Structure 1
Amino acid sequence: MGQLSYSWFPPQASAESLLIDKLFAFLVTIGSFIFLGITGVIIYAVVFQRAAKYDFSDGPHIEGNVTLEVVWTAIPILLVFWLAGYSYYIYQQMSIRGPMEMMHLSMGHGDTPAVVQELPTEEIEVISKQWAWVFRYPESHVTSTELHLPANHRIKLALTSEDVLHGLYIPAFRLKQDIVPNKTVNFEFTPIKEGTYRLRDSQFSGTYFATMQANVVVESPEEYQTWLAEAKKRKPSPSYNQAAEEYSQEKRQTFKRGWPTIIPAKPPVVNYSSFSNNNV
């Protein structure tokens, strides 16, 4: 069951996902033992410990068993401490709030963990607002509504919110971070598998929060630099924003729903927009 649990998730696209899935598989294994053990005892009691037909007599009077009570109290307590210690160990290995001192993990041949060389950290600014994501690359002076990342590089995000509480959540990375207004939250991770993934807002931030999504493109360092160079050449222009579009359609309707709706922020002005390039 522990090994089977790996198939329940999206691809392991970050070094942290390897650690999270390892912890989850361990929890599933422990939970399977507990579930099968309790279920087995219940089935055994139902099959072999049933009273005879028409037997309505009381069962034998049995006093408490001190040894048994100590055992079934001590085992859960030790198990909880074990799980807490192992979870904290995994969190330390992730080190998502600061630079990783250990060598980063990557996906080798056959999707097996391998060690890769330490590479420079890429710093990106992330602005969240009702309801859009904006990504700024300060060194290249590029702004985008699509998050591009170089594979096997340590990524440092500076997360900010222009209005309410938002949450950066990338299922394929197994990472989630709340974004608090009037505060910059630094967040680090290491993408390891090339591909296109989905970024969602994990916090209910208002009427159109479900539309607050963006593509996350993990590519080779060479392709990443090529994308930055091409995006830098483009003239900034307003990008398509689904929340603003839905709001404008609702305003044009004759029937009014009757509840107040926050007016979405204006579409962000960016060099690169995934919608304008058919990368939905």
Structure 2
Amino acid sequence: MNIRKILNILTLFTGAIAVTFMSLWIGKQAYSWLPPQAAAESHLIDDLISFLVTLGAFIFLGVTSTLVYSIIFHRAKKDDFSDGPAIEGNITLEVVWTAIPVLLVLWIAGYSSQVYEQMAIQGPAQLVHLHNPMGMESAYAATKDAPVDALAEPVEKIDVVAKQWAWVFHYPEKNVTSTELHLPSDRRVRLALQSEDVLHGFYIPAFRLKQDIIPNHTIDFEFTPIRTGEYRLTDSQYSGTYFATMQANVVVESPEQYHQWLAQAATHKPSPANNQAASEYAQASTQAVKTGWATVAPAPSPLVNYPG
């Protein structure tokens, strides 16, 4: 074995180690690109994203470093315009570079499916049959910091109604209705998701939770908030002209503060909540010059104890 071949092997080995460690480091940085983990289930999605970033970085750095190495050490000599050697197909090489992508895709699909099941996200097939398949019984994902006994059974049950274009939350315990979603920290929560009109999507980025809401179906969805603070709920599905206004605050607070808020809200008489979609629709209807296409009139402003 000549010196050049030994140097090529050493270069390949060293480069592979460098690319691997750099890819792992980039994958760790992916956690800082995401919102704070506000639910026990969020680490499942974050781990998946970190894995995909690590894999993507490894492929990108591997291909790029190979090209740079080839350009620097294997470029043609100056004024050499001759053709390269006539090399026919290498069956072994073709099998390898076909098998590796196939295995990677299967690996990613299997991992993603496992996370999908652990999050208990119900897809169209499950929603049609109105049942959770095996392995999708709850969105439970315990964390080291969260109390084990607090994550066992749902202790808070909240009804969620989506309509064009507003969110309405009903708390059966005190018969309180609100346009702001309040949740106790470190307590299991079960939401009963319903739609009054079209397809909507329940999406809280900080929780990493997104569930389609199908009209004429009640979808039970569980999760565990673990970080106090204020977050944002949006409609992840295009539900009509004013779907961008269909947002709501999500307030995660201590169990004591949560029950205090619930008791205080129960003393308020129901009143119409502010509805941005209705306001924009009314403003557009009074304009002298009509612009755009006709749109569905927003649902009346909901009557709530706590407008947010």
Mark yes or no: TM-score above 0.5: yes
* TM-superposed deviation, 1:157: 0.9
Larger radius of gyration: 2
User: In 2, are the aligned partners of 1:133 and 1:213 still within 8 Å (CA)?
Assistant: yes
Q: How has the CA–CA distance of structure 1 residues 134 and 116 changed in structure 2, closer, same or farther, with 3 Å as cutoff?
A: same
Aligned-residue CA RMSD in angstroms?
1.8
Please say if residues 103 and 116 of structure 1, whose CA atoms lie closer than 8 Å, have aligned partners that are also in contact: no
Corresponding residue number in structure 1 for 2:44: 19
Higher relative helix content: 2
Segments of 5+ residues of structure 1 without an aligned counterpart are 106-112, 275-280
- Superposed CA deviations along residues 205-244 of structure 1, whole A, max 9, x for unmatched, are 1111100000000111101100100000000000000001
Match of 2:145 among 114, 120, 132: 114
Instruction: Report the Cα distance in structure 2 between the residues aligned to 1:101 and 1:60, rounded to whole angstroms.
Output: 58
CA distance in 2, matches of 1:248, 1:38: 56
Q: Is the 8 A contact 2:182 2:252 kept in 1?
A: yes
Per-residue CA deviations over 1:237-258 (Å, capped at 9, x if unaligned) read 0000000111111122222115
* Residue 182 in structure 1 maps to residue 207 in structure 2: no
CA distance in 2, matches of 1:95, 1:168: 14
Q: Counterparts of 1:128 and 1:73 in 2: how far apart (Å)?
A: 46
CA distance in structure 2 between the aligned counterparts of 1:103 and 1:191, rounded to whole angstroms: 11
Distance in 1 between residues matched to 2:275 and 2:242, nearest whole Å: 11
Structure with greater strand percent: 1
Q: 1:41 aligns with which of 61, 66, 83?
A: 66
Superposed structure 1 runs of 4+ greater than 6 Å apart: none
- Contact 1:103 1:118 (8 Å CA) reproduced: no
Match in the other structure for 1:234: 268
Query: Partners in 1 of 2:120 and 2:139 — Cα distance?
Result: 9
Unaligned runs of 5+ in 2: 1-25, 122-131
Q: Is the 8 A contact 1:103 1:115 kept in 2?
A: no
Instruction: Give yes or no for the alignment of 1:221 onto 2:252.
Output: no
How far does the alpha carbon of each residue in 1:144-195 deviate from its partner, in whole angstroms, 9 at most, with x for none?
0000001111111111111111111100001101111111111111111000
TM norm structure 2? 0.82
- Alignment partner, residue 176 of structure 2: 142
Q: Distance in 2 between matches of 1:6 and 1:102?
A: 21
The answer to whether the Cα contact below 8 Å between 1:103 and 1:117 also exists between their aligned partners in 2 is no
Shift of 1:26: 1.1
Check conservation: 2:159, 2:193, Cα contact below 8 A. Answer: yes
TM-score normalised to the size of structure 1?
0.90
Residue in 1 that maps onto 2:87: 62
The count of residues paired between Structure 1 and Structure 2 equals: 267
**Residues 90-101 of structure 1 mapped to structure 2, 5 A cutoff:** 90-95=115-120, 100=138
2:142 to 104, 108, 112: 104
